[in-house]
Amino acid sequence: MDLYGLIGFPLTHSFSKRYFSEKFVREGILNCSYDLYEMPKLENLSALLKRHPELKGLNVTIPYKQEIIPFLDDLDDASAERIGAVNTIKVFADGSTKGYNTDYYGFRQSISEWMDRRGEACCNFKALVLGNGGAAQAVKTALEDMKTEYVVVSRQKSADSITYEELTQEIMASHLLIINTTPLGTFPKTETCPEIPYQFISKGHFLYDLVYNPTTTLFMKNGAAQGAVVHNGLKMLEMQAEKAWDIWTSEEEMWSI
């Protein structure tokens, strides 16, 4: 039995377990199982791998996408090392581990397809990236590769970001693509959302939420109420999951974004 799974803390619900379990049935993939491994501390990773030598791959979620890096044997140059975050781990036959980032692929592909359907391209916009965690690192790298200027908005000001309180009408008017990379609004805390000045959102805005549950978050609702076009993160999740499966099941050790 080949085993795959998800590590993070806490794991209150999981898109990945449902997605891969359904995939195994739908595609007739035999002798495979996907489980959840709630991990209060990353020091437990080594014990998990020893306890389950049949593990072939792991997904990584909040809050470990950046913190996991020192616990891995290797990083994929083209994705995880460049981005500085890992959401996919391949476990080789000798027990060694290698980190990849498929969030980049899922985000870039899904937002490009969405914008294209609207007759637009990311490079024609300036973006606001809400949040500065592990998911944001993949988003920022993808935007850079798509030649899209962006400003990071975070709760704490830094040399590379501004705070939510600094968002003015002028900034909102000049940054028409707004991407939420925070978990705010995720079930069951659906009453939360990033604290941006929604009154300055217009029909020219595009709001992309990496959150997929609920289907329409409060962030999206607030934007739609102002006439903005909105999109959730389900397609991104599906695309990054399929890319992770390709990595786990490929005989090639290298993978390039």
Cis amide bond preceding 63, omega within 30: yes
How many angstroms from the chain centroid is the CA of residue 28? 27
Are the CB atoms for 142 and 79 separated by under 8 Å? no
Are the CB atoms for 246 and 79 separated by under 8 Å? no
Reply yes or no on whether 243 is catalytic: no
Candidates 65, 90, 98, 243; catalytic one:
65
Are the CB atoms for 152 and 240 separated by under 8 Å? no
Sequence-ordered list of residues with C-beta below 8 angstroms from that of 227, at least 6 positions apart, any chain: 201, 202, 203, 205
Question: Can you spell out the DSSP letters for 147-190?
Answer: T-EEEEEESS-BTTEEEGGG--HHHHHH--EEEE-S-TT-TT-T
CA distances from 6 to 16, 38, 148 (A): 7, 8, 32
Catalytic sites, residue numbers: 65
